[in-house]
Structure 1
Amino acid sequence: MYAGDGVVALDKELTVMGCSRTARRLLGRGIRPGVPFPLEGVMKGLSLTQAKDAMHTAITRGAPRTGVRGQMIDGEGKRFSCLYSVHPLLGHTAKVIGVILVFREVKYFADATEEDNSLASSPSSLGAVFDSLPEGVFTIDTNWRITSFNQAAEQMTGFSRKEALGKQCRDIFRSDLCERGCPMRQAIESGSAKMDQDVRILDKGGAKLNLLVNVSVLRNTDGQLVGAVETFRCLTDEYHLPSLADKTGLFQGIVGQSNVMRRLFQMLPDVAASEASVLLTGESGTGKEIFARAIHSLSPSSKGPFVAVNCSAIAESLIEAEFFGHEKGSFTGADQSRAGRFEVAKGGTIFLDEVAELRPEHQVKLLRVLEQKMFERVGGTKTIPMEARVISATNLDITAMLEERTFREDLYYRLRTVPMHLPPLRERVEDIPLLVQHFIRMFNKKHHKEVRALDPKVLNFFMEYHWPGNVRELERVMEYAYVFVKGPVIMMKHLPTIEEFAAKRKSGIPQEIDDEASERRAILRALEKAGGKRQEAANLLGMSRTSLWRRMKSLGMC
């Protein structure tokens, strides 16, 4: 490639995907990845018409237009003569995903020699297309010798361009597929692109790298095969995600390797071995039920049932019957006897989620059962022994509730023989890459896709976002991306919009409310958005339906 060549890669909407330094020097600093290419600003008149036609032909028919003479306008508004070519840019399944514009400034058209036309046919000229992007790119000729080697390829392999040029590609990459199953060989022999190939190579220092490779063949203007081009990403280094072959950070279904999570993991076996009651605290979405299940599975009663009860989801008039069961005819609608959750959990564990939502009269009955280790069904007289371990959880500030006397202190100490606080995701951001890799494995199976990594911008966003919904929100965002991602990498465009993320940040009632009017307005906005449905409004406000009802009642709204 000539030092004066300007190269711009555009998608089908003519948005810049990448550009060379020469292109930015000639056309201005505004030419950068992610922004629309100002075609009508860099060409005028006949040159503009010809360029539009060339790009349309490349996109719709996959046909290149080479050696076109025209005029362009530089970043200072001055015209200059040029020779340019437009090539189709192939993507997944060899379909056209954009165009490559290669141009060169010439003093006068009469000065342009046949040598200038080499920018249209030389395979090495494409070597700088992605020079400013993170992908490694190299080209070979029909003798398997490297003819171009970009900066990202230098950084990932450890070989300089000078060391690589002229060498056979197998001497540089030393892949386990070089002798058999080489994607580049398959592409050349079949004449078609090979996309999303997993390849393992050795870098200059002998370290193993896992690459995601795309290969396309290169042809000259006569359609003759002149070589191939390969782009590759280093999934383990490029994206800073742990390899699937390394430690997954998974302990009893819980993902984490941060110090705070390691301390909790160390506690779990001892906690599980005892029969002590456990109180799990932490924000919504931190994984309290998963921890409860881990304690159960590690306990001597692991073969017994694990019964989860969401205390806030049960109608207050039915809580006692749900907990302890009822006899036939004990109340309207009780047309048959039914065992309660405590009875069903015999020999195992009962998990009382959102236990702080219980009203005082139900707290008293629960306390009595925990103290006496026995209960009766509603409408019954037979005493039933309580033979289940109790694990409870809450996302509320139970210490404040004790001070306000909305939660019984004696019940609190019965429930929290062993307290365990689960940290919010923002306090263990180092676990986010592990969680992402865990969700990739999980959703690949669920959605039958082959996603392998996140774009670095996505991972940076994940690391900086404060995740008010914690791990549950991260899981939902990942599954949202799976709905739209088609290739192996999740990009920013696959995520919910920034406005939706902002809405999540603002959806909850503020922690510090200056007056009741602010809280009332927040509730009204949520109800309006939910169409008057209290459960949906409660979800928007980050609280249970019962808590919403209580707040509305205290504010005189119902």
Structure 2
Amino acid sequence: MASKQTLDNSTILESISDGVFSVDRDWKISSFNRAAETITGIKRNAALGRHCSEVFRSSLCGEQCALRETLRTGKPIIDKRCYFINSRGRKIPVTLSTAVLKDHSGEIIGGAETFRDISEIEILKKQLDQQSKTPLLSSHSDAMKSVISLVEAVADTSTTVLINGETGTGKEVAAKALHYLSSRNQAPFIAVNCAALPENLLESTLFGHVKGAFTGALENKLGYFARAGKGTLFLDEIGDISPALQVRLLRVLQEHEFEPVGSNKVEKTQARIITATNKNLSDLVSQGKFREDLYYRLNVIKISLPTLAQRFEDIPFLVEAFIKRFNQLHNKSIQGISAEALHSLQSYAWPGNIRELENSIERACVLSQKDYIQLSCFPFAETANLALEKRQGDIPGALGSGREEAEKQVIMDALKNNHSKIATAKALGIHKTTLFRKMKKYGISF
């Protein structure tokens, strides 16, 4: 039988992936394993005999030193997060643990610390965090492909973006996606609804004011351009701002500077500006209600969001996400939604888009007494379906001029309400090729 070989401590320390070092009572490094060399970029010979603070340059060096705390209290510290600066000046996130070292007589002779490079974990965490903040990028709809590509292409730039879409289509979600996928994601994201504030209050909110600028201005106040720093300022409903504010905003876009209300001191801003509207700004320009020069400054990159009816493939996934959210919020345990109810939701026109769907699912979660949400929880959808059935009659086999005229009208109305041929076919309960054939038969163009 082969004899057993005993591994000494140094062999074990050299074989593990965690960095390990020890210090003596003078805080000089007495041991330094191979993983410690890899993580810090410092060779063992260069580390031994030096003070640990000279080698690691940790965020916890000095009075916050974890090893110092352990030697003072005698208690180990487990998995404390911090970072080291390696030999190339790169910040390395780590978790560390500490312990007291004693000799055979129990006398303290120093301390030991193990540390683990968690750079990959931090990167993954950041990616997951971004995904959770940008559900827009989880679309299953062809209508969203170009939108997603454009968001990803311009996210990490300072380019001004104009987001256009109907109410409830997720304009702020798109703006957040642009922010969280950019290098600005550690700086603030500030959203302002320009239509919700009167002109004087909006001006003060955006640019700040100095003490005494107006009645009630009892102290200096920073505006959102200053608070955003190097982050993102999202201006929703930009089509509703006054001509005077349009002039001030144009200056910010051109010169990257502004003056707080009541002040003549010019201040700089590095914030990225993203705007959104459900109006047609080019029409407002033609009507003289919106400055043409400002419009061109805002419209460098335009992202047009489809309606929910145009991306009906996303409805099952949005419903699932909303159910999970409202289960937690309202302490419910809804398992899902019935096939009948889901079909009804996918057939509905959703004039309020994603916001209307979200509100409807919350209401259904609150009202539902069953594990699966039923159609009865959506009275508007049921009514819409009954009206549709009444109007379309037996649409696949319609005969006679009267019925054909009714069938043509139903198809035209459905196209208008659903904004796409595929969504229309689904709403009418017929195959898309059947719809195309009938459109050709009745001379319907779309």
TM-score (norm 1): 0.44
Q: Is the partner of 1:273 in helix, strand or coil?
A: coil
The one-letter code of the counterpart of 2:184 is S
1:395 aligns with 2:278: yes
Matched to 2:188, the amino acid is P
2:134 is matched with which residue?
252
Match of 1:386 in 2: 269
Offset at residue 266 of structure 1 (A): 2.0
Asked whether the 8 Å contact 2:323–2:362 carries over to 1, the reply is: no
Q: 1:443 to 1:393 in 2, by over 3 A?
A: same
Give the ranges of 4+ consecutive aligned residues of structure 1 lying more than 6 Å apart after TM superposition.
499-502
Alignment match of 2:304 (pick from 412, 421, 425): 421
Cα distance between partner residues in 2 of 1:392 and 1:431: 25
Q: 1:291 to 1:486 in 2, by over 3 A?
A: same
User: Can you list the C-alpha shifts for 1:459-490, whole angstroms capped at 9, x where unaligned?
Assistant: 12111110000000000000000111122110
Structure 1 residue 500: deviation in Å? 8.6
- Residue 470 (structure 1) aligns with: 353
| SS of equivalent to 1:286 | coil
- 1:153-552 matches, within 5 Å, as 252-254=134-136, 255-497=138-380
Question: Over residues 237-283 of structure 1, what are the superposed CA-to-partner deviations in whole Å (9 max), with x where a residue is unaligned?
Answer: xxxxxxxxxxxx97822242111212222222221111100000000
Structure 1 pair 267/250, CA: closer, same or farther in 2 (3 Å)?
Answer: farther
Larger CA deviation: 286-295 vs 485-494: 485-494
What per-residue deviation string (whole Å, max 9, x for no partner) do you get for residues 378-426 of structure 1?
A: 1112211011000000011222112212111110111121100000101
Instruction: Give CA deviations for 1:293-313 in whole Å, capped at 9, x if unaligned.
Output: 111011111111111111111
3-state SS in 1 of match to 2:251: helix
Distance 1:312 1:494, change over 3 A: same
Q: Shift of residue 496 of structure 1?
A: 4.0
Alpha carbons of 1:499 and 1:433: their partners in 2 closer, same or farther (altered >3 Å)?
A: closer
Structure 2 contact 323–365 (Cα < 8 Å) conserved: no
Q: 1:250 to 1:332 in 2, by over 3 A?
A: closer
As a proportion of its length, which structure holds more helix?
Answer: 2
Q: Deviations along 1:73-127, whole A, 9 cap, x unmatched? A: xxxxxxxxxxxxxxxxxxxxxxxxxxxxxxxxxxxxxxxxxxxxxxxxxxxxxxx
Alignment-mate amino acid for residue 225 of structure 2: F
Q: State the distance in 2 between where 1:382 and 1:360 align.
A: 22
Distance 1:418 1:407 in 2: 18
TM-score, L = length of structure 2 = 0.55
Contact 1:308 1:353 in 2 (8 A): yes
Q: String of CA shifts for 1:305-330, please: whole Å, max 9, x gaps.
A: 11111111111122221111100001
Higher relative contact order (Cα pairs below 8 Å, separated by 6+ residues): 2
Maintained 8 Å contact 1:326/1:380: yes
Give the RMSD, CA atoms, in angstroms: 1.9
Q: Is the 8 A contact 2:210 2:221 kept in 1?
A: yes
Distance 1:319 1:435 in 2: 33
Give, in whole Å, the separation in 2 of the partners of 1:256 and 1:321.
38
Per the alignment, do residues 274 and 497 of structure 1 end up closer, same or farther by CA in structure 2, a change over 3 Å counting? closer
Q: What CA distance in whole angstroms lies between the structure 2 residues aligned with 1:328 and 1:309?
A: 23
Q: SS at 1:280's partner residue?
A: strand
Amino acid corresponding to residue 351 of structure 2 in structure 1: P
Give the match's secondary structure for 1:312: coil
- Secondary structure in structure 2 of the residue aligned to 1:338: coil
Q: Give the 3-state SS of the residue equivalent to 1:392 in structure 2.
A: strand
Distance 1:323 1:354, change over 3 A: same
Please state whether the residue corresponding to 1:356 is helix, strand or coil: helix
CA distance in 2, matches of 1:497, 1:290: 26
Q: Match for 1:326: what amino acid?
A: H
Deviation string, structure 1 residues 502-521 (Cα, Å, up to 9, x no partner): 9xxxxxxxxxxxxxxxxxxx
Specify whether residues 500 and 320 from structure 1 end up closer, same or farther in structure 2 by C-alpha distance, changes over 3 A only: farther
Structure-1 separation of matches of 2:303 and 2:361: 28
Aligned counterparts of 1:325 and 1:266: Cα–Cα separation in 2: 36
Whether the aligned pair in 2 keeps the contact of 1:454 and 1:489 (CA below 8 Å) is yes
- Checking the alignment, whether the CA contact within 8 Å between 1:477 and 1:496 is kept in structure 2 is no
CA contact (8 A) 2:239 2:277 kept: yes
Report the CA distance shift for 1:261/1:297 in structure 2 as closer, same or farther (over 3 A): same
Whole-Å separation in 2 of the counterparts to 1:341 and 1:250: 25
Residue 517 of structure 1 corresponds to none
Mapped partners of 2:186, 2:265: distance in 1 = 27
Partners of 1:350 and 1:391 within 8 A in 2: yes
Tell me which amino acid in the other structure corresponds to 2:340. K
Q: Which amino acid aligns with 2:366?
A: V
- Tell me how far apart the structure 2 counterparts of residues 498 and 428 of structure 1 sit (CA, whole Å): 18
- For the residue of structure 2 that corresponds to 1:468, the secondary structure is coil
Q: Which amino acid aligns with 2:234?
A: F
C-alpha distance in 2 between matches for 1:499 and 1:440: 20
| Number of aligned residue pairs | 254
Note closer, same or farther for the CA distance 1:315–1:487 as it changes in structure 2 (3 Å cut): same
CA pair 381-501 structure 1, distance change in 2 beyond 3 A: farther
Kept in 2, the 8 Å contact 1:443–1:482? The answer is yes
SS at the partner of 2:262?
coil
TM-superposed CA distance for 1:355, in Å, is 0.5
SS at match of 1:475: helix
Conservation of the 8 A alpha-carbon contact between 1:251 and 1:265: no
Task: State how far apart, in whole Å, the 1-side matches of 2:149 and 2:179 are.
Answer: 15
* Residues 337 and 268 of structure 1: CA distance in aligned 2, closer, same or farther (over 3 Å): same
Q: Percent identity?
A: 42
Matched residues in 1 for 2:133 and 2:347: separation?
25
Q: Distance in 1 between matches of 2:135 and 2:192?
A: 20
Check 1:323–1:256 CA distance in 2 against 1; reply closer, same or farther (3 A cut): same
Distance 1:428 1:267 in 2: 17
